[in-house]
Amino acid sequence: MRLRDFVEVLTTTAEKLVPKVANSTAKFGTNVGSSTGTLPRLYILGQCTPDLNDVDCATCLRMANRQFLHQYGGRVMLPSCIVRFEFNQYDQPFYKSDTAVMSFIPAYIVPNTNSKGHRKFSDKIIAAIVAPVTVISLVVLALGICFIRKSSKKYGSLPPQIENEDFTTADSLQYDLSSLQCATANFTDENKLGEGGFGGVYKGTLSNGQEIAVKRLSRGSGQGVQEFKNEVLLVAKLQHRNLVRLLGFCIAGDEKLLVYEYVPNKSLDYFLFDPDKQALLDWERRYKIIQGVARGMLYLHRDSRLRIIHRDLKASNVLLDVDMVPKISDFGMARIFGVDQTQGNTSRVVGTYGYMSPEYAMHGQFSVKSDVYSFGVLVLEILSGKRNTSFYQSGEAQHLLGYAWKQWNDGAPLEFVDPNIRDSCSVNEVIRCIHLGLLCVQESVDDRPTMATIVLMLDSYSVTLPVPQNPGFFIKDRTGSNFGNPVWSDQSTSKSMPWSVNDVSISEMEPR
């Protein structure tokens, strides 16, 4: 038996099952795969809960199908759907056996038949079994919904989240719109913390005293409700000291809101580029910020359950907590990859010019190395205390990267360093960070280190750094009007707009 034949029969049969189930009134269906010389016949069954519409049912089934393992039989159960398959050499479908019916939990039960085609159970017996179970299930479900809504309105928040809890449904993370409106004074400008890559961010205080940050996602997204819930559910499980924690979400009409933990010391750019506040960031703090951001990005790229490409890493998306520990924000609705996927292409470029890698800005090619480029720009900004646009606009050099490269080649790297820390910093650490920053912004993707290598370089002096080359960069507008500003562009239509918007499309994920 060839694995390719096995996979082809299973995936094709499972995909053909999706519309049969989604478009049926009972949200139930079966399908039979064609047998080959090496494979027995495949039987597959699928069912959705009757509350789902056609689109949500199809989405749930496809998510279940992607979790099949390469074995002769299996079952995938999600909160709103179930798919079961079996290769049977005797051409006997499992869904006509007694055990298949009794072990299946959905709202509709397929009548069993014996080999002669007659009903094995009478309608009265089936009704007597199904009716009480259905009524009890509906009552429990209704009570649960009422309890969650009542708790949300009374306390303005969800029940306390347990660390590493295995959530079975995204509904446990859902906030009530009225409580978020009350917490933010109906999203007034006085409570607005800033404009992120995916929408405005507002400070809020729930009725129980908990401080939160609420992000109103752009309404331009075409993502469906079920896909949004599924993605939030996965992102909420990401736990790392250097990531802003996603607490939950709210969907009401056209509103899609994300609820984050509140980080009191604003963003890194608030301190780094302010002449009066730069002195608060001594070298020790700056070095710890660089290390923290690197570890947070490594978690997103390699150590989390998902592989997440940020696509908009910059100083304004690095928040600082009360101890000045960096926390990366705006990562939740970036681009989520399968575990083994490392790169992709898009016709919609999102992010900020000046922080985008050349291959992403010009060709829509993004990967973990795109984030490495942005990290390199951020490191050079932290070292110099200057925005990436400052030197370009002042005419001193082409831009910050060009200035750093010039000082490096001239043998005067400390001239690049912020005067506030030049006399008190560790010279070896600073020079190593400049070296590392230049390696991250190499034009060739292959010449840039991975985040794992970067963390190792920052933590150990035993690692020898390769010699950097002239950095690669992309400038959209040589007048500087758009350089360094958040942008959204659709390369298929050559449009661009002066803000950053994310597709927030449902992401394809493979189980680990």
Q: Which residue has the tokens 């798919």?
A: 83
Selecting among 54, 166, 303, 312, the annotated active-site residue is 312
Give the residues across from 119 on adjacent strands: 113
Angle between helices 54-65 and 225-235 (to 10 degrees): 40
312 given a catalytic annotation: yes
Cα distances from 268 to residues 66, 82, 248, 376, 392, in angstroms, run: 40, 46, 24, 15, 21
Q: Are strands 199-205 and 365-367 parallel, antiparallel or unpaired?
A: unpaired
Q: Is 463 helix (H, G, I), strand (E, B) or coil?
A: coil
Cβ contact 263:212 at 8 Å: no
**Cβ neighbours for 96, distance < 8 A, ≥ 6 positions apart:** 110, 112, 113
Cα 397–chain centre separation: 37
The gap between the terminal CA atoms of the chain, to the nearest Å, is: 25
Query: Which residue from 64, 80, 65, 79 is spatially nearest to 33, judged by alpha carbons?
Result: 65
Q: Are strands 343-345 and 318-320 parallel, antiparallel or unpaired?
A: unpaired
| Distance between CA atoms of residues 452 and 450, nearest Å | 5
| Distance between CA atoms of residues 11 and 44, nearest Å | 11
Cα distances from 59 to residues 84, 107, 221, 259, in angstroms, run: 16, 19, 17, 25
Q: What amino acid positions are annotated as catalytic residues?
A: 312
